[in-house]
Amino acid sequence: MTNEELKNKLSGWYNDLRFTETGTYLNVEVSPKNLKSLAEKLKSDPDCAFNYLFCYTGVDFGEELGVMVHLESTAFRHILVLTTKTSDRENPELDSLHEIWPAAFLQEMEVFDFFGIKFKGHPHLKRLFMGEEWKGYPLRKDYVDNVNMIIR
């Protein structure tokens, strides 16, 4: 399926999707409330068959925190990037996708560790790299740590 065909198909599912294309990937921005249901459709729809989550990244967009999820259909070889954002920097929360793509299990732990985004439904969300004693979320743009930072 081409990016245009994907865009046309997905447009019929939700009216709040926003599409952009950069390079070869179709970028699909969805509201947090529709993230999980869209993910389920992307995997289960026989025309889409996005069965492979190959990258799950936290992003600090400035005012908003969010994630970018790179998906591929190994059957059809089409790829898209699913993006969602939350404006709640104090208690950022998104639905977990680990039940849809098991690869999301550890990647959501990493996003939580570095950005502080909590994933509803994740069965074992905890710090993965920084340790439980670490304060703050080091990949947020507003993070300050004068003790542990390397200054050049």
Percent of the chain with pLDDT over 90: 84
| Domain chopping of the chain, boundaries | 3-120
Q: Is the pLDDT of residue 149 over 70?
A: no
pLDDT of residue 152: 44
pTM for the structure as a whole: 0.91
Q: Cα angle vertex 140, ends 134, 144, to 5°?
A: 60
The number of helices, as runs of H, and strands, as runs of E, in the chain is 3, 7
- What band does 24 get if pLDDT is binned at 50, 70 and 90? confident
Other Cβ atoms less than 10 A from the Cβ of 139: the count is 17
Residue that has been written with the tokens 């939700």 in this structure:
14
Mean pLDDT of 102-110: 97
Do 113 and 139 touch, CB atoms closer than 8 A? no
Q: Tell me the residue type at 119.
A: F
Q: Are strands 25-29 and 18-22 parallel, antiparallel or unpaired?
A: antiparallel
Q: Is the pLDDT of residue 120 over 50?
A: yes
Mean pLDDT of 63-85: 97
Q: Which CATH superfamily is domain 3-120 in?
A: NADH:ubiquinone oxidoreductase Nqo5 subunit (3.30.460.80)
**What span, in angstroms and rounded, lies between the C-alpha atoms of 85 and 71?**
17
What's the mean pLDDT when you consider all of the chain? 93
Question: 33: which DSSP letter?
Answer: G
**What span, in angstroms and rounded, lies between the C-alpha atoms of 109 and 111?**
6
- What band does 118 get if pLDDT is binned at 50, 70 and 90? very high
Tokens standing for 127? 């710090």
Mean pLDDT of 90-99: 97
